[in-house]
A and B are shown apart, each in its own frame.
Chain A
Amino acid sequence: MRNPKKGMTLIVKEVTRLTVGLIFLFGIYIMLHGHLTPGGGFAGGVIIALSFIHIVLAYGGDFASRKMNLQTATFLESLGGLMFLLLALLGLIFTGVFFLNLLPHGTPFELKSAGIIPLCNIAICIKVGAGLFLVFILLTTFRPGGDK
């Protein structure tokens, strides 16, 4: 990269503008169909993190920090973890069994089936996406003098 703050050339920026939304959407598709097709929370989270990293690489750190900055990512990561734990504890509170599959199982092969598994996928996706994006930002654009 010629200049890490400003980003890459114009062609890269235009192509990124067209494709990054599709990558994000693809990540959400992989996550939502986690109980029907391969993938699930972790794979969807990695793809969503990649879409944000794509913006950082193409447009530079300054512009990307307006879309998703450090505090938001930290907050989202903790939020994802807490959501997952809350889903597990719901079983404990309502029926006395930890991590029980509470919600109705529904008919197989539908999108809205299999109890709490799609909700767990969403929580994991948020946590993994935010976490991987944080790792990338902290390893590349942070210089000594800031927080660890």
Chain B
Amino acid sequence: MTRLLPLFIALPLGCAFLVNLFKNKKAADLLANLCTFILLILSLATIYTVKAHGIVVYKVGNWIPPIGISMVVDGLTVLLLVTVNLISFLSSLYSIGYMEKYTAKPKFYSLFLLMLTGMNGLIVTGDLFNMFVFLELAGVASYALVAFGTEAEELEASFKYMILSSLAASFVLLGVAMLYSYTSSLNMADIALTLAQKSASPNVTVLFIAVLFLMGFGLKAAIVPFHPWLPDAHPAAPAPISAMLSGVLIKALGIYAMLRVFFCVFGASPLFLETLCILGILSMIVGVLLAVGQWDVKRLLAYHSISQIGYVLLGIGLGTPLGILGGLFHLFNHSMFKSLLFFNSGSLDYAAGTRNLKEMGGLKDAMPVTEKTCLVASLSISGIPPFNGFWSKLFIIVACVQAKHPGYALWAIIGSLLTLSSFMKVMRYAFYGMPKKAYASLKEVPSSMQAAMIILAIICLLGGVLLFPLFRSALLQPAVDVLINGKNYAPIVFSKLK
């Protein structure tokens, strides 16, 4: 299995170039879905590999780091790999039906697979500049995908997203340049060892580099001072791309990169954890307050993305094992129910032709599958038992109280209540109520879209199962251990290189 690690990057890249050559839509569908399905199987197989061997280190081209690039797979990597590949498989399944309304479907799959390459590459790599290259690859593919429909609003949203996101990537590059100049190495484990040896006192250079990384990755993760691109970019994209952007891109490019750099390379200081908590609470409250008044379904969901990422940051920023468990579990859960919500809004758009809640109404009888899955997702995001959102939010709130920050827990509960109210509004206006005359002849969406939504709804229902000790020790606990023992990353990686 160690030998198959480069396939995470090589397979979607090769399929992206191949799909570009096809003219036949069905052949492009088949190849893209086959590719994402194989990647899903591979990522599930890495769970067993990491359980059996511990951290897996793979040298690309047999060059020894720090001269060569290495791929490092540990618990956190496995959690993100499973999330990214699962959501991408379901998105490509969904887009078989949805993208019929757009032109140039093979080019869509080509860009989609390039974005997947970028994300997979960023998650598995162990080298800092390699991380920047994959960050830009996934970013550029997503700029093109947001503008895919080439309507006026989509182009404007894509341009705004592009300028802000390129600026953030330049900050990251500046940070990498300064870090290379300070430690003369690019390998993350090597930098960690050098930083630990060089400085004990608070060091102005390292603090500046840390702030640069926080700005760069924070903008990719849409944390509150850096969020303005998200409410424009996510609604404008086609629905499967909105699900990918909001479900995995802001997590893989933003949260994962930040965690990897700050916990494993710099070593988490209490100042940084405190900053994460404050930013998390700010994101939570600002996101949900701005979301309650929206009438465009996808814009409402985009603001809720900002809010839920705030929960993840609060959980991880607490620093206790229970808090980090809650935060990472909420990361996984949010991918599931937010993607499901975006798929539902895409179905509403596909069938009714509008995204405005005021124009919809009473679609419960015409679209039963969409209505039931939307109900499941809304209850999950609001934190109603026994869906998966409830468990992760409960862990975060309990961890807040245990860490002697009851104020944070109060803000989290307020955010949850406001989330519940805005989703009751969505359900009431979209599905319940009197059907409008214009929608008398609506049919349910095609079966590929229904299949993707039903699978995600089942995962949302059974998500609590992941907390049973059998599954928790397979998926979540190794990820938590990586972050708790951040300082052990470098010695373990070096010992595996021998």
Contact = CB atoms under 8 A, between A and B. Distances in A.
Interface of A: 74-75, 77-78, 81-82, 85, 88-89, 91-92, 96-101, 147-148
A75 B21 contact: yes
Interface residues of B, number: 19
B14 A98 contact: no
A147 B103 contact: yes
Interface string B45-85: 00000000000001111100000000000000000000000
A81 B104 contact: no
B97 interface: no
B6 A92 contact: yes
Contacts of A148: 103-104, 107, 150
Nearest to B19: A78
Main secondary structure of the interface of A (DSSP, over half): helix
B166 interface: no
A99 B6 CA distance: 9
Given A91-B61, A92-B3, A147-B103, A98 B20 contact: no
B129 interface: no
Contact of B18 (A78, A91, A96): A78
15 contacts: A74-B20, A78-B17, A78-B20, A81-B17, A82-B17, A85-B13, A89-B14, A92-B10, A98-B6, A98-B10, A98-B58, A98-B61, A100-B61, A100-B62, A147-B103
Interface string B5-24: 11000100110011011000
Instruction: Count chain A CB atoms within 10 A of each CB in B3, B58, B104, B150 and give the residue with the most.
Output: B3
B455 to A, nearest CB: 31
Given A74-B20, A88-B10, A99 B103 contact: no
B10 A85 contact: yes
B223 to A, nearest CB: 33
A99 B103 CA distance: 36
Contact of B61 (A74, A81, A85, A101): A101
A81 B62 CA distance: 23
A89 B5 CA distance: 12
Nearest to A74: B20
A98 B104 contact: no
Given A88-B10, A92-B6, A97 B18 contact: no
Contacts of A88: 6, 10
A147 B10 contact: no
